[in-house]
Structure 1
C-alpha cells in the first residue's frame, strides 16, 4: 500500500482526538474500520504509530515523526490546491480588473482612471463594509485587488497571504450640518462634541475602538453611535441628528461641511492589496499608481482638506501641480502620526 494524503489526515485525526473511538466519530467511520485502516497504514510505514491503552492512544516515536511531517505536508497541499483554483479562475481572463472596496470615493476614482487608461478592458467592482471579506475574496481568487482602509497603524487583514501597499494616510475629519454652531470653525476639538450623537459606517477593523479611546482621552464617552450606510450618515448629519466621522477626502454636499479634529486624534490609511502569486500581481504596480492618483484627485476636490494642509491659511491654488499628495502626507505625519501611535498603543 502506498501512503496517501487521506492516510496522513487519518493519523492526524487520531492524534488530535486522543482515541480511536473519538477519531472514528470525527471521521464518520466505524471504529473497527478505522482500526483496520490504521493497521494497514502502520504496516506501510514499518511500525506502530500509536500505543493503545485504557485511556486512549499515545503517539510512538515513529508516530511523532510522521505527525511532524504531516503538519508540513497537509497545509502545503491545501495551499497548492487554493493556488491552483485561483490560477484556474484567472487563466481565462488575463486582461481585466476586478476590484473590491469599502465605502468612500476612492473606489470610484480608481474605476474612472482604469477605464480611461485601458479602454475596452473590463473593470468590475464588488463592495462590502467588511475589509476581511474583501481581503478573503482576493486571497481566494474571486477578485484581483482589494481597496480598503485601516485605522492608524493597525495591520490589514490576510497579511500572510496578500501583499499590501499604502496609497496614502489621511486624518479623520468630522461632518457637521452647515448650520451647526461649530461649522464655521477651522478645526474642532473632540471634547467640544462630547454632547453630540455620532454616525459612522460599519467595519470589522479597530476604528470603533480607536474612536472610543480617543473620546476617553478627550474626557468623555460617546452617548450614541449610529452605524449605517454612507447615505444615511449624510442624512443624519444634514438634519442635525448626529455628527459624523469621515475621511478627509470625503466629498461634501448641500447642507453639510467637513472639518478637521484638533490634534488629529484619528487617522485612516488607504491600502491596495493583491495576491503575489496571482496574475493580477503583474499589473499591481500600475493599479497602485492609479490609486494614488485617484486619491490625489479626491484630496484636491476637498476644500477643507486643502485648507488643513495649509494650516487653514492657503487656498488649494497655491500648491504647484501634483504636489498636494506629497504635501498631504508630510502634513499628516507631522501633525497626527505621533498622536495616533500613542493612541494605538493604548496609552
Structure 2
C-alpha cells in the first residue's frame, strides 16, 4: 500500500480531534472503517502512529514525525487546488489600496466593496506617506490615501500622480479632560506652553512640523516620542502630554479634542495613484468614494463640521446636503 493525500488527511483528523471516533465523524466515515484504514497506514509506515487511551488517541513519537511532514503536504495541496480554481474561474480584477491611519479608510473601503463587489480588494496601512507613495510608484499599490504636513511638501516619485482631496485639514489637539484649557472651545497655543507634546517618530515630518510651529510661537517644547496609540492615549488622559490629532477622531476616555486658535497645524489630504493601474473614470469614482466617506465623518463631529462650514466653501454644499 502507498500513502496518498487521503491517508495523510486521516492522520491529521485523528490528531486534531483527539480520537478515532471524532475523526470518523468529521470525515464522514464509520469508526470501524477508519480504524481499519489506520491499521493499514501503520503497517505501511512500520509502526504505531497513535496510542489508544481512555481519553482518546495521542500521536506516538513516530506519529509526530509523520504528522510534521504530512501537514505541509496537505497545506500545499489545498493551495494548489485553490489556485487552480482561481485560474479556472478566469482573471479577477483586483485593487490594491494603501492608506495612512484614518477613520475615513474603513468607510471608504465599504463603499469600494459595495460599488465593486467582483473586485478583489486589499488594504495596506502605513504611518508613512512617503512609504506609501513609493509603493504606488513601484507597482505594489494602485492607489493610496496620504497626507502632507504643511511646510513639508511630499515628493511624488515618477510613476505616480496625485489629486487633492482636502487642501487644508486643521489638526486638533487632544488633552486631558482635567486640563485647564479643556474648558475652552478653542485652545490658544499659549495655553499649552508648559505641556509636553507627543509625536510618533515614524510619522513623516510630524516632529519637524510640530517644532516649526512651536518654535515660531517662541516655545521650546518638551517632546515625548511614542509609537503605540494605546500608550499615547493613556499618557494624554493622565495629563502627561498633549498630542495633535485628526479632527475626525473621536476623543478617547478621559480626553477632549479642541481646535487650536489660528489653525497653526495643518495637513493636505491627497489621493495618489499609478496611472497605468486605472482609467480616469475609475480614479474619479475612488476619489468620490473617499470624499463621501470623509464627509460622513465630518458631519458627526460638531467642532470640525463648524470649522469646515466656515473655512471650506468647496465642501459647504455637500456638508449641508442630506444623503451625500
Give the structure-2-normalised TM-score. Answer: 0.63
Where 1:119 maps in the other structure, the secondary structure is coil
Deviation of 1:286 after TM superposition, in Å, equals 0.7
Residue 149 of structure 1, CA deviation: 0.5
- Is 1:298 aligned to 2:297, yes or no? yes
Q: Which has the larger radius of gyration?
A: 2
Structure 1: 5+ residue stretches without partners: 1-91, 312-318, 326-347
Q: 1:324 to 1:228 in 2, by over 3 A?
A: farther
2-structure distance, mates of 1:115, 1:322: 23
How is 1:1-347 mapped onto 2 (pairs within 5 angstroms)?
95-152=93-150, 154-168=152-166, 169-203=168-202, 205-279=204-278, 283-309=282-308, 322-323=318-319
Distance in 2 (alpha carbons) for counterparts of 1:100 and 1:121: 16
Question: Which residue number corresponds to residue 74 of structure 2?
Answer: none
Partner of residue 23, structure 1: none
Name the SS of the counterpart of 2:195 in structure 1: coil
Report the Cα offset of residue 172 of structure 1. 0.9
Residue 228 of structure 1: SS of its match in structure 2? coil
CA offsets per residue over residues 239-272 of structure 1, 9 Å max, x none?
Answer: 2221110121122233221101111111111111
What's the CA shift for 1:282? 5.2
Find the aligned partners of 2:215 and 2:151 in 1 and give their Cα distance: 19
Q: 1:154 to 1:274 in 2, by over 3 A?
A: same
Shift of 1:206: 2.9
Mapped to 2, the partners of 1:93 and 1:141 lie a distance apart of 18
Does the CA-based 8 Å contact 2:299-2:305 persist in structure 1? yes
CA shift, 1:203, in A, is 4.3
- Matched positions, count: 227
Tell me the secondary structure at the aligned position of residue 292 of structure 1. helix
**Would the alpha carbon gap of residues 118 and 215 (structure 1) be closer, same or farther in structure 2, given more than 3 Å must change?**
same
Question: Is 162-171 or 113-122 further displaced after alignment?
Answer: 113-122
* CA distance 1:324–1:148, shift in 2 (3 Å): farther
Task: Tell me the distance in 2 between the aligned counterparts of 1:231 and 1:102.
Answer: 17
- Give the C-alpha shift of residue 213 in structure 1: 1.6
Equivalent residues of 2:93, 2:118 under 8 A apart = no
Cα distance, 1:291 vs structure 2: 0.9
Q: What residue ranges of structure 2 are gaps of 5+ in the alignment? A: 1-89
Deviation of 1:320 after TM superposition, in Å, equals: 8.1
The residue number in structure 2 matching 1:328 is none
SS across alignment from 1:287: helix
Q: Secondary structure at the match of 1:182?
A: helix
Could you report, residue by residue, the CA deviation over 1:308-347 in whole angstroms, capped at 9, with x for unpaired residues? 3467xxxxxxx9872359xxxxxxxxxxxxxxxxxxxxxx
